[in-house]
A and B are shown apart, each in its own frame.
Chain A
Amino acid sequence: MVVGLLGLQGAFLDHRKHLDQLGCPHRIVRERDDLAAIDRLIIPGGESTVMAMYLKAFGLVAPLKQRIAAGMPVWGVCAGAILLAQTVDTGPGILGSLGVTVRRNAYGRQDASDVHPLDVPILDRPGFPAIFIRAPRITAIQPTVVVLATRDGEPVFVRQGCRMATTFHPELTADPVFHDYFLRL
């Protein structure tokens, strides 16, 4: 099984260490041809507008949507969650593959970024140090979306079938527990 790391912009390289630790091969995805070689995809954190621009420019939007619709497991981290979302702010999302509505930069500017202790019962992690960096907020979810962790009552880790999203950055914490969970989706 090969995990793809969408490598257009952002924190894609940081996922390699965790996947290596779990003994899982990975490759960077930048072209349509790369998609054929992967079984799962992580859409990393970064600048969602920049990634959206190049997803469109390199003709990746339609093939990606197709793969996800066909059941390829996918994980959106922060900006990746924005790209996956059905609705962003008030408009349609880029990939529209995850039944959530997100609001961008919803915690405020960079000085509102923080490390927040998060209880993640499904991963047996009480007080996981979740790193939020100009994170989006998930403001609404479809009934089939399962909320796996919350911050102040709002979902920050969700799953819908084999699609998951975290609004924080588990790849910046040494613990590979989220990657392990993703590999078992």
Chain B
Amino acid sequence: MCGARNLGEALRRMDEGASMIRTKGEAGTGNVVEAVRHMRAITCEIDALQSMDDAQLEAQAKAYRVPVELVAETRAAGRLPIVNFAAGGLATPADAALMMQLGTDGVFVGSGIFKSQHPERTAQAIVQAVIHFEQPDRLLEISKNLGDPMPGQEIASLETRLAERGW
């Protein structure tokens, strides 16, 4: 399972053998904005594939440095050909539901649970939010009585951005 911030990264990891992708987000921040950014980037790039002719697709595959078959498969599926979980900064049931609405297959939540006031309740609520992400009334109920979530950090004020590390 490998991280990705855009379609090129996701497809290169797949080409190397990844069987699962996580959009990176910005881990440990309790701020979901980067996770949203990365998921939107992938969705936009897959949408862009739809209007390409074969020559353009070939050029795009070269730009992504992956076999054209993989890009064609992605275009045909209209999504990443393998499972994608959203990670990095999710801290609330609403964050989890938001990422599911953006089209991820699931979510990873670490510090968003452990650094919340009531980790067990928060974890259960996030799992339920993934199941009921399309039902606002259920999400409202799920989000009640959870205490304080993990405090979010401003991305611009971070000393090290994990999403840019590890190369």
Contacts and interface: CB of A to CB of B under 8 A. Distances in A.
Interface of A: 7-9, 13, 30, 54
A180 B41 CA distance: 37
**Chain A binding surface SS class:** loop
Contacts of B105: 13
Nearest to A8: B131
Interface residues of B, number: 3
B121 interface: no
Interface in B129-153: 131-132
Nearest to B130: A9
B105 to A, nearest CB: 8
A78 to B, nearest CB: 16
Contacts of A8: 131
A8 B132 CA distance: 9
A35 to B, nearest CB: 16
Nearest to A58: B131
Nearest to B124: A57
A13 B132 CA distance: 15
A13 B131 CA distance: 13
Contacts of A9: 131
A68 to B, nearest CB: 22
A59 B131 CA distance: 15
B132 to A, nearest CB: 7
Interface string B86-110: 0000000000000000000100000
A113 to B, nearest CB: 12
B151 to A, nearest CB: 30
Nearest to B77: A17
A8 B105 CA distance: 13
Nearest to A13: B105
A13 B103 CA distance: 12
Contacts of A7: 131
A159 to B, nearest CB: 30
Contacts of B131: 7-9, 30, 54
Q: Give the top 5 A-B pairs by smallest Cβ distance, nearest first.
A: A8-B131, A30-B131, A30-B132, A54-B131, A7-B131
7 contacts: A7-B131, A8-B131, A9-B131, A13-B105, A30-B131, A30-B132, A54-B131
Contacts of A54: 131
B126 to A, nearest CB: 13
A13 B84 CA distance: 13
A55 to B, nearest CB: 11
B46 to A, nearest CB: 17
Nearest to B132: A30
Contacts of B132: 30
B80 to A, nearest CB: 13
A9 B132 CA distance: 11
A13 B105 CA distance: 10
A54 B131 CA distance: 10
B120 to A, nearest CB: 14
Nearest to B106: A9
A54 B105 CA distance: 18
Nearest to A54: B131
